[in-house]
Amino acid sequence: MSNIANGRLTQSEVDFYNKNGYTLYKKQLFSAEKQAELSAIFEEQWELVGRRLNSELDTPHFRDERLLKFLLSDEVLDLVEPIIGPNIGLWSSHFICKEPLIGKKTPWHEDSAYWNGRLSRYDKIATVWLAIDRSWKENGCMRVIPGTHNNGFSDYENIDTDDTIFTTQIKNIDESDAVYFELEPGECSIHDSRIIHGATPNKSPYRRCGYTMRYFSTEARVIPEKNANHKIWLARGKDIAGSNFVNV
């Protein structure tokens, strides 16, 4: 179990993450008051885009710096540090919401595939997926294929986008190996950017919203010419590779 005193993962949990590419943190990441504050910010953001899934929910901290209180918090960074080390950059964040009954499927993919060419390396990038709503198999929680974070970039194929949120998916996935991340509000998962993951559609009457907080070891260099208008923050420690951080 995790060390309640400082919120960090134990060595056995870090070993599990290194082997499988993910771990679950089945405790409250933030205090009840702080979690409620984050949920309220999401509701504001969601209202602004017409209460539907929209690309404007990507990098919401660019528009609303109140979110930096959460993204740069010790609660999150203490969770991430045992996985990627003490020198931590904030890569991105994203509110992800699947509406009741009509929430689309998320095809099998690797996050790192969508960032290919934007960083110098991908081996120490971790996403904290914090549940705002209950995230359950019934309403399309995230699922992963364990151990696939060491496979390199996968082969993709084009797909029909009427009922999916992406235009491509990884070929030939054996879904029988999938592990489903069921979380209560305030709990979170952590996954490697290279792991194969996705989600089934939400056909339930229950909304499924989460906040992804993405971090990278500053051993990786963020390549300026491939990241126009993308802002990164030095969250903890020091800049190793010489990236252009907002606050350095």
Give the model confidence (pLDDT) of 40-50 as tens digits.
Answer: 999 998 888 77
pLDDT attached to residue 248: 52
Residues of the chain with pLDDT under 50: 1-5
Domains in the chain: ranges and CATH:
11-236 (2.60.120.620)
Q: How is residue 12 written in tokens?
A: 């056995």
pLDDT digits (tens, 9 = 90+) for 153-209: 878 888 877 778 777 787 888 889 999 999 999 999 999 999 988 999 999 999 999
At how many degrees (to 10) do helices 11-20 and 74-84 cross?
60
Six token digits for residue 73: 């918090």
Look at residue 54 in the predicted model and tell me its pLDDT. Answer: 54
pLDDT value at residue 176: 92
Average pLDDT, rounded, for the chain: 90
CB within 8 A of 197, min separation 6: which ones?
108, 109, 110, 111, 142, 143, 144, 145, 191
Confidence (pLDDT) at 67: 97
